[in-house]
Amino acid sequence: MTSPIVRFAPSPTGRIHVGNVRTALINWLFAKKHGGKFLLRIDDTDRERSTQDYEDGIKTDLNWLGLEWDDTFNQSDRFEKYDAAVEKLKADGLLYACYETPDELERKRKIALSRGRPPVYDRAGLALTDDEKASLEAEGRTPHWRFKLSGERVEWTDLVRGPQSIDSASVSDPILVRGDGSYLYTLPSVVDDIEYNITHVVRGEDHVTNSGAQIEIFKALGGSAPDMAHTPLLIGADGQGLSKRLGSLSIHELSKDGVEPMAIASLLAKIGTSDNVEIRSQLSELSEEFSFDKIGRAPARFDETELMKLNANLLLDMPEDEAVSRLKANPKLSDLSDPTFFWDTIKGNISVFSDVDRWAGILFGEIETPDLAEDKDYLEQALASLPAGDYSEETWSTWTSELKVSTGRKGRGLFMPLRKALTGEERGPEMNRVLVLLGEARARARLQAAVA
């Protein structure tokens, strides 16, 4: 394959969420796998809804994920190009003026439906004479402009969906320019894809019908259409669409919640594919493994519980030096005497990195002593036999073996009161390591508090 050139084309009308990031990621992985280029196109022709803040935010989020682009440009800088394309299409008789108001169009739609016909635009605009147009404009109407579809079948082999065939006679001629002169996304996208030599258009399957029209526009503008890949949309763990929850699934929110970029990328690259969902530590591994052939036709299931599990797995596998440098960067933990030992102790009990603060609080700060009245006698005995001096990883077993013999307790009855008294928790890291981190003085003080 010649090196592909792909683009991710968000509109800066909000932050990006897991749905559109999946599209960005698939484009990026495909480009990198084949030594190609990934472009970032900012679809900001809608000047009212687009903001610089959102554009900056999108760039921050993509950078945070590691999805760097080879080039970026804004559609708002390119109106001259779109205007030139409009002139060409008009000159070729492929773009025609229409004057219906939204209400009139709605009425036409209803009439067609009530007569059992598909609600396809009737091309009334195409039949207007110059005089009729002039008198409509004299009424104060301004035209919107529709592209004249060929009426033939548009066919392509989609890299995800396989052979596609759209009967262009069964869809309305698309509006390319609104009455106020602003552009819908359809035409600028094609103009840019031609000029930037885009080889593959990779996007969500909500664009399949657009592709039928856009392929005809590519041809009308003298280009040939790129290859197309339309990926199934995401659904939630409950099988419902994600649209209502996308706000909380923005990359910005997930990063604030402490989710690691590679947990997000690993999940989004694998759901809905024939590969297993597993954590990868580098985007390059995901791109090696990427193939359109692996993407299924069914919606891809995005489950936040799975995301958090991947995040926990990523932390478990995190190289020790990275973990230690992150711990040292935390002002509350910068004076840990043995950060490696601390990390190895707690890493199996965190789901986001910031949970280290919670364990540091439990191990080195003040804890709330739970009610252990039932085990008071036992804990008094435990306190009396608590070893003195420096603790090692063997101290716990020496101490508890002795207690086992002296009290006849075993299993949960032996360990749980000690875990609760020493950490205030019912669950946590292995006690032999916890005891080392507590040290004699803190362990003694906590047992004393528990029996007081």
Residue 146 CB, nearest distance to ligand GLU (Å)? 19
Q: Of 105 and 184, which CB lies nearer to ligand GLU in the complex structure?
A: 184
- The region of 3-11, 159-167, 332-340, 419-427 touching ligand GLU under the rule CB under 6 A is 3-11
Q: Of 164 and 398, which CB lies nearer to ligand GLU in the complex structure?
A: 164
Binding mask 29-58 for ligand GLU (x = CB under 6 A): --------------x---------------
- Round to whole Å and give the CA distance between 97 and 148: 11
Among 4, 5, 6, 10, binds ligand GLU (CB under 6 A): 10
Residue 286 CB, nearest distance to ligand GLU (Å)? 21
Q: Of 144 and 207, which CB lies nearer to ligand GLU in the complex structure?
A: 207
Among 185, 196, 341, 415, binds ligand GLU (CB under 6 A): 185
- Residues touching ligand GLU, count (CB under 6 A): 8
Residue 9 engages ligand GLU in binding (rule: CB under 6 A): yes
Binding mask 190-209 for ligand GLU (x = CB under 6 A): -------------x---x--
- The region of 4-12, 31-39, 125-133, 421-429 touching ligand GLU under the rule CB under 6 A is 4-12
Residue 253 CB, nearest distance to ligand GLU (Å)? 19
Residue 128 CB, nearest distance to ligand GLU (Å)? 31
- The region of 8-16, 240-248, 301-309, 346-354 touching ligand GLU under the rule CB under 6 A is 8-16
Q: Of 11 and 273, which CB lies nearer to ligand GLU in the complex structure?
A: 11
Among 6, 11, 62, 403, binds ligand GLU (CB under 6 A): 11
Judged by phi (left if over 0) then psi (alpha if -120 to 50, else beta), residue 174 lies in: beta
- Round to whole Å and give the CA distance between 333 and 325: 11
- Round to whole Å and give the CA distance between 278 and 258: 19
- The region of 5-13, 239-247, 260-268, 433-441 touching ligand GLU under the rule CB under 6 A is 5-13
Residue 203 CB, nearest distance to ligand GLU (Å)? 4
- Round to whole Å and give the CA distance between 46 and 67: 25
Q: Of 68 and 206, which CB lies nearer to ligand GLU in the complex structure?
A: 206
Residue 174 engages ligand GLU in binding (rule: CB under 6 A): no
- Round to whole Å and give the CA distance between 367 and 179: 67
Residue 210 CB, nearest distance to ligand GLU (Å)? 7
Binding mask 202-241 for ligand GLU (x = CB under 6 A): -x---x----------------------------------
Residue 207 CB, nearest distance to ligand GLU (Å)? 6
Binding positions for ligand GLU, rule: CB under 6 A? 9-11, 43, 185, 189, 203, 207
